[in-house]
Structure 1
Amino acid sequence: MYGLPRRSRALVMGLILFFIGATMYLKSENLAAAAPLQAYYPHSGIRLERSEVKFRADAIKEAYQHSWDGYMEFGFPKDELLPMSKRGGNSMSGWGASVIDGIGTAVLMELPEVVEEQLKFIAEIDYTKCEHQISLFETTIRYLGGMISAYDLLTGPYSDLMEAGKDQKNHHLVHTLLRQSVALADALKFSFNTTSGIPMPFFMLDSKRIKSDDINNIAGIGTLVLEWTRLSDLTGDPQYTTLAQRAQEYLLKVENPEIGEPFPGLLGTNVGLRDGKFLDSYGGWGAMGDSYYEYLIKMYVYDPRRFRRYMQRWVQAADSTMTYLTSVPATTPPSNFVFVGEYSHGRSIALRGSHLACFIGGNFLLGGQMLDNMKYNIYGLQLVDGCRATYANSRSGIGPERFGWDPNLVPSNQKEFFEKNGWYYGGEIDYRLRPEVIESYYHAWVVTKDDKYRQWAWEAFLAINRTCRTEHGFTSVSDTSREDGGRKDDKQESFWFAEVLKYLFLIFNEEGIQFKEKIGFVPGERQKWVFNTEAHPIRIY
């Protein structure tokens, strides 16, 4: 081994250390039958008092109300609040993204006055008109997913929320959510009119021009099927799921696997709209690939009968990830953190990660629970620990946008930091109000019921509240390596409402989980809900 280059030695040593500690479960296909999860991953012993849990849930509700009040005063009806300059911005088609992204969380928090405001606005949106460039991916996960989710919630376990209001017209407003979902899908569906049936990712609504030689990425193709299928199931009109599933077929069965599938189930990134063939062999669980893998197992949750093939492809991707992309930082003494690398030029592994990719721990836990397979549960918890390290060891208490653990690429001013913590800041050191680490905490808590993950979520919230809170809302910050988070970058993302605050609230909302129909994944019970990638809960088929 010592004849190998230093980079190769470090990688080999890291893998050896990992497999020594993990062999007992990584090679097992049926650990669930052998022993409960705590036999492999012991409970921390941390237990929170009920009063403390309620206090934290109320604090998160206050953060939502603070953010919403600031948006309504300075940002409405534009897509998002720019809290430092006290104005609104349009980065998501200009249809009021924060309203639609925020309604599901307001329903779960049982804020009827806020929900009524949101419903009245949504009912008046004209989805046939848009002056801005539209992203099919973002519009699907935020707008279409947000409206369908609110419809499912308000006609299901939260049907009494609006009936308790003063205006009986609210009942009618709830049903406009489905009508508006159809209107939006009908306005967008022309984008699938390409030679291959793979949709055009960006377009201007008024021109309706399709360029057959353009490309799309696997997240842009594979993160439509849940929302469009749910719309078909609600309306009885199969056209929406047919469009999404036709595009998805190019990812389920790759036309040119020698380029597009460097590892079984793990794909390249970009696909040609003309013929559906892959154009490259790089990718991973980060940007432009992430939610494709996420939706494979979530479609199986949504309907195991129709989407068994999706689950099988997820298993392929998950097993390849564990076999080929697993990495442990080569520090002295050795780190015990597990990270997932990225691949480029086929099978070349880059030891770098991103905040976006930190949803992976939660996704493995979802897969482990659905498939009753302990190896995915254990691996998922290890990945949660790794992403937790980027928060716990950062001076701000928040993980950066990008990080790495390649001992040959450590910046000279971070060598001591890397040896101590097992990772280093990887260029982009800002925090954009992203939810992925907290999302994985949520799944870890649901699966283990270990209040350690609630404590980690609370610590993350306190750090975000300290660094990102402004007089009129919350904003992204420029430098997570600084205790104060650096410069406030003046943008309150709509997914702050949809994802961060929702996952935080659900982690601490014991009363709602106990007395309402259970939202999200509940181990040992038949599932009733699944989250889309924007954390909008969708009722399963």
Structure 2
Amino acid sequence: MRHSWAGYAQHAWGFDELMPLTQNGKNSFGGLGATIVDSLDTLWLMGLKDEFKAARDWVVNELSFNKFYEASVFETTIRVVGGILTAHELSGDEAFLRRAEELVQILMHAFDTPTGIPYGTINLQTQQGRNPTWTQKASILSEFGTEQLELIQTSLKTGNPVYAQKTEAVIKFLNDKWCSMQGLLPLYIHPQTGQATTQMVSLGAMGDSYYEYLLKVWIYKGRRAEDEMYRAMWERSMDEMLRKLLFKNEESGYTYVAEFARCGSPLLHKMDHLSCFIPAMLALGAHASAVTGAKATRYLQVAEELTHTCWQMYHQMASGLAPEYVEFGTAGMVTAEKAKHNLLRPEAMEAMFVLWRVTQKEQYREWAWEMFLAFEKNCKMPVGYAGLKDVTVVPPPTDNTMQSFWLAETLKYLWLLFAPNDVVSLDDWVLNTEAHPLRIIKKLPDFLTSNNTAQAQVNPVVMN
């Protein structure tokens, strides 16, 4: 972490990301200082207080939101809002909360739609929202379904219920429209009509963290009976995933989660590295008693099998690091030609962390340590760390980006694997999808109860 931060601070300060090969910075998120805000809590937890203070001073005094930039509402929420909120939670510094709410107030304009489902992007300066044409102007499930933790936390800390109202109304809309019939939802839903523009279902890219947040919001709000909607939606989706998408490859013996493209088409027997969050989610659900008895045992068994698959995605590569996704067939587990890159992603390390905390089986630490050594050998540059272009060859060619989630997630999960179990305990904290911990609410204030947050000021669409 020190090496990563020093490289960024020296060569890319104020930019979103370090380019470790050319030793300069680039803005991938509109110049919102993604690496700085993503690193705040990692620096604090690791005791790097001088580095934390430098980051704090930049966020409070220099970070500007007045930018003519089409920001991803999702990425800005999980990275920037999430990172700043956790810094406030850990340090108690009220300046962080003021900055977080300032940004949230801008992002709220994305929710001005007939269904309440937010647009995927918003211009930070004009505050106009829009969606891409390639989704037929629909919003993406993993994006609008992954903003609840951060916005509820903003309401909790500021006393303004509107942020929670808006984002919880989205989940209620999905529940009312879809979830009496199905658990797994289509990836694209139009914010004007509430109708899907695709039949594709995935727990990898564009679907993943929606399911994660159903569980985590229920845990974060204290596992209350009043929030049963979240838990029930999560259980229904997990049961459907296990019935329809879970397979064991005969050649390799590895368990994986496939993808559903469209009605009448065969399943896609591939598994994204992004999907390695699934075993962490299943194990967390069993640990938190979102399911109990034989079902909890089943969920944990599947979590262990999937974590083994994620480990093999690393272990079988010449570099010791996983590709972006793998495919399964008669040849076993195969790396696709266009998926040989590694972006320093955290999902497999997340699985190792949660499975270690839940089972206390030493193998997860051993696997994680071997993964760490592969990162050290292949990705460590004189300045920072770089992703890889091809994990199947040695030495692997490197790219020119140190992703902010390398500091926010991958290194944090690895560090937590070897920290005492009461550091960011799973019984006291929920980590957002960018690994920013939020303290579980022990007693929900009246203004955030479900009866109140359901009263979001949106104009519901009348469905046939």
Same fold (TM over 0.5): yes
**Residues 121 and 129, structure 2, Cα contact 8 Å, conserved in 1:** no
Q: Cα 1:531–1:355, aligned 2, differ >3 Å: closer, same or farther? A: same
Mapping 1:186-335, distance limit 5 Å: 186-211=105-130, 214-254=137-177, 264-303=182-221, 304-305=223-224, 306-331=226-251, 335=252
Q: Cα 1:248–1:426, aligned 2, differ >3 Å: closer, same or farther? A: farther
**Residues 191 and 200, structure 1, Cα contact 8 Å, conserved in 2:** yes
3-state SS of 1:253 partner: helix
In structure 1, what is the Cα distance between the partners aligned to 2:63 and 2:349?
34
Q: Cα 1:509–1:211, aligned 2, differ >3 Å: closer, same or farther? A: closer
Which amino acid is 1:106 matched to?
L
1:94 to 18, 27, 31: 31
**Residues 390 and 423, structure 1, Cα contact 8 Å, conserved in 2:** no
The structural deviation recorded for 1:251 is 2.4
Which residue does the alignment assign to 2:462?
A: none
Instruction: Report Cα offsets for 1:371-412 as digits up to 9, x if no partner.
Output: 2421111111111011111111111111100110023xxxxx
Q: Cα 1:426–1:269, aligned 2, differ >3 Å: closer, same or farther? A: farther
**Residues 123 and 129, structure 2, Cα contact 8 Å, conserved in 1:** no
Which residue does the alignment assign to 1:84?
A: 21
3-state SS of 1:427 partner: helix
Which residue does the alignment assign to 1:436?
A: 347
**Residues 106 and 127, structure 2, Cα contact 8 Å, conserved in 1:** no
Which residue does the alignment assign to 1:104?
A: 41
Q: Cα 1:536–1:437, aligned 2, differ >3 Å: closer, same or farther? A: same
In structure 2, what is the Cα distance between the partners aligned to 1:340 and 1:191?
32
Where structure 1 has 5 or more consecutive residues not aligned to the other structure, the ranges are 1-63, 156-173, 408-414, 522-526
**Residues 144 and 181, structure 1, Cα contact 8 Å, conserved in 2:** yes
Which amino acid is 2:230 matched to?
Y
In structure 2, what is the Cα distance between the partners aligned to 1:96 and 1:520?
28
Which amino acid is 1:341 matched to?
A
Instruction: Report Cα offsets for 1:251-281 as digits up to 9, x if no partner.
Output: 2233598xxx7xx301110010111111111
1:342 to 259, 273, 276: 259
Query: Is 1:461–2:380 an aligned residue pair?
Result: no
Which amino acid is 1:294 matched to?
E
Query: Is 1:354–2:272 an aligned residue pair?
Result: yes
Which residue does the alignment assign to 1:532?
A: 432
Instruction: Report Cα offsets for 1:325-376 as digits up to 9, x if no partner.
Output: 1111132xxx321101000113742111111111111110001111242111
Q: Cα 1:451–1:211, aligned 2, differ >3 Å: closer, same or farther? A: closer
**Residues 468 and 475, structure 1, Cα contact 8 Å, conserved in 2:** yes
3-state SS of 1:375 partner: helix
The structural deviation recorded for 1:284 is 1.5
Instruction: Report Cα offsets for 1:168-197 as digits up to 9, x if no partner.
Output: xxxxxx220111111110121111112221
3-state SS of 1:77 partner: coil
Which amino acid is 2:348 matched to?
V
In structure 2, what is the Cα distance between the partners aligned to 1:377 and 1:256?
24
Query: Is 1:145–2:82 an aligned residue pair?
Result: yes
In structure 1, what is the Cα distance between the partners aligned to 2:360 and 2:402?
31
Normalising by structure 1, what TM-score?
0.77
Mapping 1:497-536, distance limit 5 Å: 497-510=407-420, 513=421, 518-521=423-426, 527-536=427-436
The structural deviation recorded for 1:436 is 0.4
Moved over 4 A (4+): none
2:323 to 400, 403, 418: 400
In structure 2, what is the Cα distance between the partners aligned to 1:144 and 1:406?
41
Which amino acid is 2:413 matched to?
Y
Percent of aligned pairs sharing the same letter: 31
In structure 1, what is the Cα distance between the partners aligned to 2:335 and 2:79?
32
The structural deviation recorded for 1:465 is 1.0
Query: Is 1:365–2:299 an aligned residue pair?
Result: no
The structural deviation recorded for 1:308 is 1.8
In structure 2, what is the Cα distance between the partners aligned to 1:424 and 1:85?
29
Instruction: Report Cα offsets for 1:222-252 as digits up to 9, x if no partner.
Output: 0001100111111111010111112222322
Which residue does the alignment assign to 1:178?
A: 97
Instruction: Report Cα offsets for 1:127-157 as digits up to 9, x if no partner.
Output: 44113320000000000110111111223xx
Which amino acid is 2:416 matched to?
L
The structural deviation recorded for 1:503 is 0.1
**Residues 40 and 52, structure 2, Cα contact 8 Å, conserved in 1:** yes
**Residues 115 and 173, structure 2, Cα contact 8 Å, conserved in 1:** no
Instruction: Report Cα offsets for 1:488-534 as digits up to 9, x if no partner.
Output: 11000111110000000000123xx45xxx4141xxxxx22100000
Which residue does the alignment assign to 1:475?
A: 386
In structure 2, what is the Cα distance between the partners aligned to 1:349 and 1:66?
43
**Residues 71 and 81, structure 1, Cα contact 8 Å, conserved in 2:** yes
In structure 2, what is the Cα distance between the partners aligned to 1:176 and 1:207?
25
Which residue does the alignment assign to 1:48?
A: none
**Residues 120 and 130, structure 2, Cα contact 8 Å, conserved in 1:** no
In structure 1, what is the Cα distance between the partners aligned to 2:410 and 2:247?
27
In structure 2, what is the Cα distance between the partners aligned to 1:126 and 1:499?
22
3-state SS of 1:353 partner: strand
Q: Cα 1:153–1:440, aligned 2, differ >3 Å: closer, same or farther? A: same
The structural deviation recorded for 1:426 is 5.6
**Residues 178 and 185, structure 2, Cα contact 8 Å, conserved in 1:** no
Which residue does the alignment assign to 1:427?
A: 338
Instruction: Report Cα offsets for 1:421-444 as digits up to 9, x if no partner.
Output: x44436311000100011000011
3-state SS of 1:474 partner: coil
3-state SS of 1:470 partner: coil
Which amino acid is 1:440 matched to?
A
Which amino acid is 1:218 matched to?
L
The structural deviation recorded for 1:211 is 4.8
**Residues 121 and 130, structure 2, Cα contact 8 Å, conserved in 1:** no
3-state SS of 1:233 partner: helix
Q: Cα 1:127–1:241, aligned 2, differ >3 Å: closer, same or farther? A: farther
Which amino acid is 1:311 matched to?
R
